[in-house]
Structure 1
Amino acid sequence: MPAIERLSIVVPVYNEEENLPLLHQAIRSAMDVLPWPWEVIFVNDGSQDGSGKVLETLAFTDPVHVRVVDLRRNFGQTAAIAAGIDHATGDVIVLMDADLQNDPADIPMMLEKIQEGYDVVSGWRVHRQDAYLTRTLPSRIANELISWVTGVRLHDYGCTLKAYRREVLTGFKLYGEMHRFIPVYAHGVGARIVEVPVCHHPRRFGKAKYGLERTLKVILDLFTVKFLNSYANKPIYLFGGTGAVLIAISALLLVYLFVRRVFFGIGVLSSPFFQMATMIGILGFQSILMGLIAELLVRTYHESQGKPTYTVRRVIRNGEEERISINSH
């Protein structure tokens, strides 16, 4: 397993003026004892308060470690995280919130897990310091649903504090609220994932930026993630399978109608079940056609961009291990 060469910490920021100086100090206290060079990338996601000025001051007072990416407007947490990853130079990237609820002191422990051979280390807020009914309970339900749908069992998808090897973050774009699904994407390309308990502190300054409305967005994004993770390379399995089931239901309804016709003399064409069977059969046929079209699109996507349909963990050549991107042929 390649050693850590450089660490990047990505912190999306939205209206966290009072928290930023304390967060910077806490990060320095935790990172300065580590043997690797490190940087922290603050992404100002269109803050309305004085966060931009504070970040500018930090960038000038600690130019060795602090980089600031200033977005033109508020694009959302996922977009801010994507911007931070794009500007990071480390081979290991840690994501964390700017509200001081994540503790930078947990990062060294997470890096130890990376050195043990894991590609993703996910934080688990065992003792979460948030309102139970509006934050913690909906989060627990969402975590169970995501784990069940994706097959990637994690207790706390919503915890931003996670550490990644860079190679498992390449090959996909983040949209909507999909930053919480990065472990699912990483699992899809064979990443080794471990979950570790981390500290979670009550918010000291400011207020939470998200409420119950975020739960619906997460559920909708879950449909996309499930499709991309399970059927992106073979969409015919989803559309064709659905179509085959619908056609089978249509056939059973028609058999039922003809049996009634033969034994009870009940008309077939006048029955509402005949119209139902016809519509279901048409939908099944259309679903199969959609699957075939999707297959053509997938092949165009892979072949036009030279994207492989497999991922390679490592190559050993001439007795030495080559470090490669997880998307390499």
Structure 2
Amino acid sequence: MAPPTLSIVLPAKNEANSLRKLLPALREIYSDAEILVVNDGSSDETLEVAQAAGAKVVTHAYSMGNGAAVKHGARAATGEIIVFMDADGQHDPGDIPRLLERLFEGFDMVVGARDSTSQASLSRRLGNSFYNRLSSWVTGHRIEDLTSGFRVVRAKRFREFLYLLPNGFSYPTTSTMAFFRAGYLVSYVPIHANKREGKSHINLVKDGIRFFLIILKVATLYSPLKVFTPISFVFFMLGAGNYLYTYLLEGRFTNMSALMFITAILVFLMGLISEQIANLLYANTSQR
């Protein structure tokens, strides 16, 4: 039986300098693999460097975002297995065989989990740690690195969720949660990520707000009731506490208590409806 074909997808925006070293290194290790660079509206020599190295290139006329580049690359890739890695020099091509080895043990996705020394700053480490703990609680599975862009997937499985993936930087988050929600097998292999070459495209303020919204999306994407039920319970207890206080003090039931109870009911019903929508969403996915 012939081994599965391999595609290596590199989303790239103004990464000419790092690609000059990365592409030859990839070709040396995987001479038969399809190497696909998605040029996301670069203004430098990314296109020329990729073409000179013999890579297949997909070009966006303007920047559409990292997630859009990943989706375009997944559609254009011809391999049965796809390796996604950053084009900025953070990921070591030498780690790819270890990820593939784990994938062939029967997994559908294998993620390169960065060690603590790979995080750019204390705030980034704390943020990623929070994401990992939250997503682990929501899924009931240990998630070692929710936001790592270095991963190996079975192409057929990954394409099932392309319509769910955002165009920004949160494709790793969404794809991981989607795989767990669909019952696919996900594993992690520890890696060390190097310091990126060039300037990061992440804005701390803008992307900090966006990542907060991602936290909510992560939870509601997988199991909405796990989010809405605790919130509903908090409002219910606030209402009960306020009612007990006002009853003992004034002997009456106040409008504030009523508002708290009503809010608790509405939040729970919102969670129930969201849970049904999520079930329908993944039921439709399984039929694709």
CA contact (8 A) 1:128 1:136 kept: no
Q: Is the 8 A contact 1:142 1:215 kept in 2?
A: no
Counting only pairs closer than 5 Å after superposition, residues 64-213 of structure 1 correspond to structure 2 as 66-126=55-115, 128-129=117-118, 131-133=120-122, 135-172=124-161, 173-175=164-166, 176-181=168-173, 182-203=175-196, 205-210=197-202, 212-213=204-205
Letter in 2 for 1:52: L
Aligned-partner Cα distance in 1 for 2:263–2:133 = 32
Q: CA deviation at 1:48?
A: 2.2
Tell me the distance in 2 between the aligned counterparts of 1:81 and 1:275.
Answer: 51
Distance 1:123 1:288, change over 3 A: closer
Structure index of larger Rg: 1
Tell me what 1:30 maps to: 29
What is the CA–CA distance in structure 2 between the aligned matches of 1:298 and 1:184, rounded to whole Å? Answer: 12
Shift of 1:11: 0.6
Residues in 1 aligned to 2:192 and 2:240: alpha-carbon distance in whole angstroms: 57
Structure number with the higher helix fraction is 2
Structure 1 residue 255: Cα displacement: 5.8
Q: 1:308 aligns with which of 280, 283, 286?
A: 283
- On the 8 A contact 1:126/1:198 being kept in 2, the answer is yes
Find the aligned partners of 1:244 and 1:138 in 2 and give their Cα distance: 26
Q: What's the CA shift string for 1:55-104, capped at 9, x where partnerless? A: 3434xxx2xxx321111222221221122112222221111011122111
CA distance in 1, matches of 2:239, 2:21: 64
Deviates further, 153-162 or 79-88: 153-162
Aligned in 2, Cα 1:174/1:57: closer, same or farther, shift over 3 Å? same
Q: With the length of structure 2 as denominator, give the TM-score of the two structures.
A: 0.81
For 1:315, the equivalent position in structure 2 comes to none
The residue number in structure 2 matching 1:10 is 9
Measured in 2, the distance between the counterparts of 1:244 and 1:128 equals 39
Moved more, 286-295 or 74-83: 286-295
Identity rate, percent: 32
Query: One-letter code of the match for 1:78?
Result: G
Amino acid in structure 1 at the alignment position of 2:23: H
Shift of 1:285: 4.2
8 Å contact 1:12–1:42 — kept in the other structure? yes
Q: Secondary structure at the match of 2:223?
A: helix
The yes-or-no answer on 1:55 pairing with 2:50 is yes
Question: What secondary structure is seen at the aligned counterpart in 2 of 1:191?
Answer: coil
Counting only pairs closer than 5 Å after superposition, residues 249-260 of structure 1 correspond to structure 2 as 250=239, 253-254=242-243, 257-258=246-247, 260=248
CA contact (8 A) 1:125 1:159 kept: yes
Q: Taking structure 1 as reference, are residues 240 and 152 closer, same or farther at Cα in structure 2, changes over 3 Å only?
A: closer
Seen in structure 2, the aligned counterparts of structure 1 residues 240 and 160 have a Cα distance that, compared at 3 Å, is closer
Specify the SS of the correspondent of 1:70.
strand
Could you say which residue in structure 2 is the equivalent of 1:227? Answer: 220
Q: CA RMSD in A?
A: 3.3
Rounded Cα–Cα distance in structure 2 between residues aligned with 1:251 and 1:83: 52
Question: CA–CA distance in 1 between the matches of 2:134 and 2:231?
Answer: 22
Alpha-carbon separation, structure 1, partners of 2:269 and 2:189: 45
CA distance in 2, matches of 1:206, 1:222: 28
Pairwise CA distance, 1:184:
2.2
Instruction: Render the CA deviation track for 1:117-158: whole Å, top value 9, x for unaligned.
Output: 111111123364554335445444443444344444233333
Structure 2 vs 1, CA of residues 125 and 239 (structure 1 numbering), >3 Å: closer, same or farther?
Answer: closer
Q: Which runs of 5+ in 1 are unaligned?
A: 310-325
Q: How many residues align?
A: 283
Does the 8 Å contact 2:10/2:84 carry over to 1? yes
Alpha-carbon separation, structure 2, partners of 1:85 and 1:155: 24
Does residue 267 of structure 2 align to residue 287 of structure 1? yes
Distance in 2 separating the partners of 1:133 and 1:240: 32
| Structure 2 counterpart of 1:39 | 34
